Structure 1
């Protein structure tokens, strides 16, 4: 049996997870899909789907996104072209930034 993560998450993160989990469960029930049917369509186990619906933060993000996509729950842009443009913009921005983050070196002032 999977244990829900004991790592501390921010209140915002927990609330957002709960909102997404509730949306997934509500939409699944609205579409009259059983947990087993949706899990099979998503390529995950039924227990993984149950963890997603309980807002377990340790679930793989890919699995959560796949379940949301199958249920037509928009996460970013609904239009695939707009999503592609947003991704291209994010990649362009990332290309302009340094490859890694480094803390600035502090020079030792050894003048007495």
Structure 2
């Protein structure tokens, strides 16, 4: 879905694939993969391309975004600071 939104944004701005790839500093092949939804491109590159074509990644209403952020902060405060695997105690006393 994100790839389709990027392609639509590119078309609405009248950019060729090569022009957008040049602006993003990536190859046309990488841009093609992003638009097709390939799992290979790095997330930062995908976010950069979204920004260039005007695809919003978050809720446009700041109040709703703040509400979600507050909920996530509350949930994170309830979780442990770090997660460690418990080590098995080996009983080697024969």
Q: 1:40 aligns with which of 11, 16, 22?
A: 22
Tell which structure's C-alpha radius of gyration is larger: 2
RMSD: 2.7
Q: What residue number does 2:8 align with?
A: 26
Query: Deviations for 1:78-108, whole angstroms, at most 9, x for unmatched residues?
Result: 589x68xx5xx76xx48x712xx32112345
Q: Does 1:57 align with 2:39?
A: yes
Q: Does 1:75 align with 2:57?
A: yes
TM, length-normalised to structure 2 = 0.69
Q: 5+ unaligned residues in a row in structure 1: which ranges?
A: 1-18
Q: 5+ unaligned residues in a row in structure 2: which ranges?
A: none
Query: Deviations for 1:21-78, whole angstroms, at most 9, x for unmatched residues?
Result: 1111111112211001111111111111111111110111111110001111111255
